[in-house]
Structure 1
């Protein structure tokens, strides 16, 4: 029929149909539904094509970048007027027409440079003693004497009688010995020492050489251990020479020791440029910059503006002729960093592209609303109304984003809003940033995130607002007390009213805006879940009429899963509603599932295992197809598709094995994917537990507990929980909850003997 219609009637018909099937989910993700309805002209295929294209567009990184750039441009436009410097006309050598206060803290570089120059001039040069020089020269002297002794030991005298003096009567000449001695030393040493030193050393006796060595080494060590600057080298050599002259050495050996000592004694104190520069740098760093402080009076009204005052006015940038662009560049840098951080923040989140894009759009829309409210309030700020920023609903954005996305994104929004708030609410402050307002927005927003801890968000929004009012007032009191100012009762009453309105407005705006976000962004809200849980829903009626056993099984699983999910802090309502639809795929072939086989034979007894496998596995994929066709929320579709994960159909696998078939275990596994959320993991456990307990002849508490433990352990060892964030502690809580619920259902009955006897009598 719709193909025969044109224009408005067709669009109207399509809108009505879409609204009945939840127009929010028609687009899957943000707001394309209505657009597609009008663009498609009523053609279903055309609309679906547009939806697919639009969904692909939203998933592109280019689209995300465009959204972030729009956020940056909008934010820059909002804060432009807040960073624009105020210009004042002042003429040199004329009285000031008004008192001028520095609007920012700036360094007086001229005065600072003067202070630094004076300080550097007072720093003396640093000279460093090279202690290793003494040891090096001692080692050199020691090596020369040892080498001479070695030469003497290598060339013993040819004929030497007892009592003869130790004079050179060797078979080697003195020149040969000198040559041998020089061969043991380096060329550098040989070139620096005079020849007579070598001659005296090779002609001396070994005992005399040993004495000369000890004396020379001691003198050199003593002299070189003292500080010897360049202008004191000759004096040091003379000290060494004087000490050696008074030694017991004789003749040429003494002269050689003196010459050797004078030769090795050198300068050991040098100008240390690095340490000198380091001390100068330390001195420079110790100089506190001379600053013109924010709020400092530069010139009072009527005071003559001399060159010094004029220079300070130029530094602070308040002169009319000072066309500074720095504030605008600074604001641009903040916006660029914000956009870059958000891009990285969202792209590193462990979510699918659909969720990332959805959360990004929600974040941007809420953020734009928040800074628009900020700017509107700031426009009324002035001398008459001071500190209006405390009326801003600081926790609104954090609460909305936490409810629609998660705490991570809510905290990011709160931090950014606090930073932007310091700029937007700077009217009346002495500088460009109003730090107390920023801290107020930050702490109030974080308090809103913390207070909304329950899953039942909507029921806690208004109480959270009241709690926030007292938190806000406590924050304002803290700021007032820290500033140590004098405030009247009316001022305290004013701030209390601001805190109260801020908290209540946060709650009211959150409650008021949530339905628009939930409808526009296709978010699965509590109201939507309640609507889907209505037994009159077409799909639930389909399950009830076509597979009543499956319907009863789904109700039982819902009871188990809901209590278990609530016990671990997961979404119990989502689990319950998801359980209602999780086995809808069985409606295609209801008689092939045991809960629907009443008074009929099991058809699987006559089918090969592979065929049975196809039928059983198909119920998960068939269910997901049916749910997608009827445009149910993706969370419900995921439950139908993932509640079996990749578990093994053990019965048919073992049946195939017994029949001798060469089968691969993976062939008898569900295709998955594995459970991606806690709710789906719990539903999968509850589904298996309910079916297993129902097959028990006489279930007892002990049997039920053993069965639950076995099923959880089996899924755990089969790695079915690897892709969701459920913990071992939460699995223990799930086990306990399932056991308690099952024991309540399958509790033992009390026998009534008297009643039984009466019944027997009646029968008789």
Structure 2
């Protein structure tokens, strides 16, 4: 059941309607954008926590960005403001008011004692109305019993003491010691005990602090002091709360500062990241669709590109989840970002891999808080990975690429560490990052080698590694070809050499051409003796059968080969080479033979054509020409360079005139260049040889 499903999927993926359909293609672009958005939107959205005071934290939370610690910064600034003393200014109005209050009392006392018409009670009442509130009744009783001269003396002494005290700074602290200060001043005057008490009572009742608090000036100075206090920062990667720690007000404040507290959705981030993905996928589509025809990516390759990018996005998400769960930020240096570039280079295309290097690096940097540091390191590692596996000759190429990626990762990390602002390097942190960066390249190479076979098997891909495996002579199909059709086997080897040389000249894939040549004639194993290269004697079975039957036998080796290749599980590009290596060319030998035997003139040339199809790729067209060239040159009795070149050019001209190359993108310049490649290769195969003498003949001559 499972094999049937796999076969159905493989048939769907190989179908031209899937590989070339525009709707499928547009759907893949849309799917790429949507899938990557769904996977990665969580990496750019900061996680939100809604802890309560005194709750136990279930996870370790680290700051994902660098932000100001508002609570600690405000506490430090409050302390700086408290250290600024209040600002006061000395007021003359306090002294004036105090003198006026004292003088009013003494003047009223002079008036009431000189007015003989007033009774004692009336005098006391008027004096009480003019007296300050704090003056005691006993002082008023004394005043109404004095004569004007004595009152004037007390007024003079009181004014002198008030001026002496209020001409200088008189604070609230001074006010608490007013009685003592007045007593000290009265030492300068010769007064009796009662007069001292009166003066002390009157002066202390009118004294007030003359230092007025300047709130605006004080606030301004405190604000300046607060502004001079530098902000306290929560740095990216700092642990805000450890697992099992009790949540405090300061922790909640720090979570708010770095945007990790609350449950309000970030609509702006959601929409902004959607625009980000739209631009990124749109530019990627523009690049892919505007590539030259020779480097076109079909829908199957586009599907694989989508799957690789999806896989890399999942790895980015897992890396971010590890960091969000309390893991160290340095875990990001272990993210095998270069694996994606290696896979795309080997499976899809090297130039497309370079573009996707920047694409993946931007996504990785966005997930890591839009940090240029991680973007730069990812770009360096990805580019080195892509360039290192551009030509894969064996699986050791991946390990070499892994070591190169490790080395360049370490160089990039060291460069960024040296460029980081600060007083010096944190050697422990630097060594940790260098170690993880070095391990990154090896992990990327190992994962690439491990994942690549799954893509090869699931999609029938023809990667360089798969091609190298298929080119091994111990392959069962090639061993069977060697045993059952040795002439065809050697013919295939020579065609492979010709095709590889031609492909290198015109920019086609040499490895596909060589391996395709090895398998293009496997269908001849069904009836090997009907093909001249396998005939060990001069007897030709075609001489005994009709030309039409010979035509069917010869052309059937294409369909037979396709069936064998499909049964052996060979990828579609190899099967396409087998299907198109004769195109719709004509079997002229059997057509002429049939025409000679036909007495009615009913033989049609189209009845003696191969079923096709015509070649659609450069590799297929190269194999068609190489197959014909090798057969023609091998049949030449005396192959001189001039005659060989003439035959090659005639074969190419015939294929052009017959329209066999109309559907591929080989140019006339390519075809001319291929002639030179064929000549160099054939020169080494069909070179002239000296005629060695017969040893028996020499012995007889010596004996005579």
Query: Any conservation in 2 of the 1:346–1:356 contact (CA below 8 Å)?
Result: no
* Residue 399 (structure 1) shift: 0.7
Query: Any conservation in 1 of the 2:393–2:465 contact (CA below 8 Å)?
Result: no
1 CA distance for matches of 2:8 and 2:362? 42
Q: Secondary structure of 2:316's match?
A: helix
The corresponding residue for 1:441 is 378
Q: Does 1:36 align with 2:10?
A: no
User: What does residue range 255-294 of structure 1 map to in structure 2 within 5 Å?
Assistant: none
Q: Does 1:370 align with 2:312?
A: yes
Of 576, 581, 593, 2:531 maps to: 593
Of 71, 84, 98, 1:97 maps to: 71
Query: Any conservation in 2 of the 1:68–1:343 contact (CA below 8 Å)?
Result: no
* Residue 47 (structure 1) shift: 8.1
The corresponding residue for 1:693 is 633
Q: Does 1:326 align with 2:268?
A: yes
Deviation digits for residues 193-219 of structure 1 (CA, Å, limit 9, x no counterpart): xxxxxxxxxxxxxxxxxxxxxxxxxxx
The corresponding residue for 2:366 is 423
Query: Any conservation in 2 of the 1:347–1:356 contact (CA below 8 Å)?
Result: no
* Residue 643 (structure 1) shift: 0.9
User: What does residue range 12-27 of structure 1 map to in structure 2 within 5 Å?
Assistant: none
Q: Relative to structure 1, is the Cα distance of residues 763 and 643 closer, same or farther in structure 2, using a 3 angstrom cutoff?
A: farther
Q: Secondary structure of 1:697's match?
A: coil
The TM-score normalised by the length of structure 2 is: 0.59
The corresponding residue for 1:738 is 678
Deviation digits for residues 157-216 of structure 1 (CA, Å, limit 9, x no counterpart): xxxxxxxxxxxxxxxxxxxxxxxxxxxxxxxxxxxxxxxxxxxxxxxxxxxxxxxxxxxx
2 CA distance for matches of 1:468 and 1:363? 21
The corresponding residue for 1:583 is 521
Greater Cα offset, 646-655 or 315-324: 315-324
Structure of higher CA gyration radius: 2
The corresponding residue for 1:79 is 41
- Which consecutive residues of structure 2, in runs of 5 or more, have no partner in the other structure? 52-68, 75-226, 234-255
Query: Any conservation in 2 of the 1:465–1:506 contact (CA below 8 Å)?
Result: yes
The corresponding residue for 2:446 is 508
Q: Does 1:402 align with 2:368?
A: no
Greater Cα offset, 394-403 or 752-761: 752-761
Greater Cα offset, 364-373 or 646-655: 646-655
Q: Relative to structure 1, is the Cα distance of residues 730 and 467 closer, same or farther in structure 2, using a 3 angstrom cutoff?
A: farther
Q: Does 1:646 align with 2:584?
A: yes
Q: Secondary structure of 1:97's match?
A: helix
Query: Any conservation in 2 of the 1:585–1:622 contact (CA below 8 Å)?
Result: yes
Query: Any conservation in 1 of the 2:345–2:352 contact (CA below 8 Å)?
Result: yes
Of 680, 693, 711, 2:620 maps to: 680
Q: Relative to structure 1, is the Cα distance of residues 639 and 51 closer, same or farther in structure 2, using a 3 angstrom cutoff?
A: closer
Deviation digits for residues 253-282 of structure 1 (CA, Å, limit 9, x no counterpart): xxxxxxxxxxxxxxxxxxxxxxxxxxxxxx
Deviation digits for residues 565-593 of structure 1 (CA, Å, limit 9, x no counterpart): 45666554543443333223334444443
Superposed CA RMSD:
4.8
Q: Secondary structure of 1:331's match?
A: helix
2 CA distance for matches of 1:757 and 1:498? 77
User: What does residue range 292-691 of structure 1 map to in structure 2 within 5 Å?
Assistant: 324-335=266-277, 356=298, 358-379=300-321, 381=323, 385-386=328-329, 388-407=331-350, 409-426=352-369, 433-456=370-393, 458-476=395-413, 479=416, 487-488=424-425, 490=427, 493=431, 496-525=434-463, 528-529=466-467, 532-533=470-471, 539-540=477-478, 543-544=481-482, 546-565=484-503, 570-602=508-540, 604=542, 610-653=548-591, 661=601, 666-691=606-631
User: What does residue range 179-194 of structure 1 map to in structure 2 within 5 Å?
Assistant: none
The corresponding residue for 1:278 is none
Q: Relative to structure 1, is the Cα distance of residues 58 and 671 closer, same or farther in structure 2, using a 3 angstrom cutoff?
A: closer
Query: Any conservation in 1 of the 2:381–2:408 contact (CA below 8 Å)?
Result: yes
Q: Relative to structure 1, is the Cα distance of residues 727 and 473 closer, same or farther in structure 2, using a 3 angstrom cutoff?
A: farther
* Residue 461 (structure 1) shift: 2.2
* Residue 395 (structure 1) shift: 1.6
Q: Secondary structure of 2:639's match?
A: coil
- Which consecutive residues of structure 1, in runs of 5 or more, have no partner in the other structure? 1-34, 41-45, 90-94, 101-295, 303-313, 427-432
Query: Any conservation in 2 of the 1:592–1:602 contact (CA below 8 Å)?
Result: yes
1 CA distance for matches of 2:228 and 2:573? 63
Q: Relative to structure 1, is the Cα distance of residues 317 and 565 closer, same or farther in structure 2, using a 3 angstrom cutoff?
A: closer
1 CA distance for matches of 2:230 and 2:404? 47
Greater Cα offset, 640-649 or 469-478: 469-478
* Residue 374 (structure 1) shift: 2.5
Q: Relative to structure 1, is the Cα distance of residues 672 and 459 closer, same or farther in structure 2, using a 3 angstrom cutoff?
A: farther
2 CA distance for matches of 1:316 and 1:425? 14
Greater Cα offset, 641-650 or 437-446: 437-446
* Residue 400 (structure 1) shift: 0.8
Deviation digits for residues 516-551 of structure 1 (CA, Å, limit 9, x no counterpart): 332333323556545545666554455455544333
The TM-score normalised by the length of structure 1 is: 0.55
* Residue 730 (structure 1) shift: 5.0
Q: Does 1:712 align with 2:652?
A: yes
Q: Relative to structure 1, is the Cα distance of residues 297 and 399 closer, same or farther in structure 2, using a 3 angstrom cutoff?
A: farther
Greater Cα offset, 362-371 or 490-499: 490-499
* Residue 454 (structure 1) shift: 1.7
Deviation digits for residues 447-496 of structure 1 (CA, Å, limit 9, x no counterpart): 43233332526443222233334443454466566666654272655554
2 CA distance for matches of 1:444 and 1:545? 48
Deviation digits for residues 277-322 of structure 1 (CA, Å, limit 9, x no counterpart): xxxxxxxxxxxxxxxxxxx9999579xxxxxxxxxxx999999797
